[in-house]
Amino acid sequence: MCKGLAALPQTCLERAKEIKTKLGTLLQKPENAIDLIIPYPEKQEKKPEKPQKPCPDEALQWRESLDKVLTNSYGLAMFRSFLRSEFSEENLDFWVACEDFRKTKSPVKMAAKAKKIYEDFIQTEAPKEVNIDHFTKDVTLRNLVTLSPTTFDLAQKRIYALMEKDSYGRFLRSDQYQDLIK
């Protein structure tokens, strides 16, 4: 992995600057926007409900696929805890962020989320940089120029495959999971 921007080819630097500029432009407030004098009432944030522990039979179904784990709130929390113990939680964080991005309808929110995902997970030396190959990174960077719900699809699929091939099997063999299915 190259360190710093000086090691990147000039075309990558130019492309990264172009994407950063476009994302920044999308996030700027229009000059003719009017600030509302009367604020909207703040939404009451609900505390997320604690996922209910599944019965052993339900947890056994998680062996069928990683999807079964990720679509179960308790399974997701348990898999996150396992990944945290392996110091690879960024993979799941990225996958979850991409799922959230895909469901976003507002172009402004989409741009903000894309920028955050790029800065947190994709850019070189990002705080939670995920391990994707240069081709995938390049495709993702090009997709950032014209945002759509599929912008991060290739990178998300690669990280999912990495989790499925690597971490998922160890999770199923972990004491944490084995205790749950007993």
Mean pLDDT of 129-158: 96
For residues 162 and 46, the model is more confident at: 162
Residue in the block written with tokens 């009451």: 44
Burial (CB < 10 A; 0-12, 13-18, 19+), residue 73, is: middle
Q: Give the whole-angstrom CA distance, residue 76 versus residue 119.
A: 24
Quote the tokens at residue 108: 């402004």
Does 40 have pLDDT greater than 50?
no
Map out the domains of the chain with their CATH numbers. 16-24+53-181 (1.10.167.10)
- Give residue-wise pLDDT tens across range 71-124: 999 999 999 999 999 999 999 999 999 999 999 999 999 999 999 999 999 999
Nearest by Cα to 169 from 20, 65, 18? 65
Least trusted range by pLDDT, from 28-37, 119-128, 169-178: 28-37
Q: How far is CA 175 from CA 62, 69, 78, 181, in A?
A: 15, 16, 12, 10
Q: How far is CA 113 from CA 30, 108, 173, 181, in A?
A: 19, 9, 35, 37
Instruction: Provide the angle, in degrees to the nearest 10, between the axes of the packed helices 107-117 and 10-27.
Output: 140
Does 32 have pLDDT greater than 50?
no
- What one-character DSSP code corresponds to residue 53? P
Count of beta carbons in the 10 Å neighbourhood of residue 35: 6
Quote the tokens at residue 175: 């004491």
Q: Give the whole-angstrom CA distance, residue 74 versus residue 71.
A: 9
Q: How far is CA 149 from CA 14, 109, 171, in A?
A: 24, 12, 30
Confidence of residue 24 (pLDDT cuts 50, 70, 90): low
> Distance between alpha carbon 81 and the CA centroid of its chain, in Å?
16
Q: Give the whole-angstrom CA distance, residue 143 versus residue 28.
A: 20
For residues 25 and 58, the model is more confident at: 58
pTM confidence score = 0.74
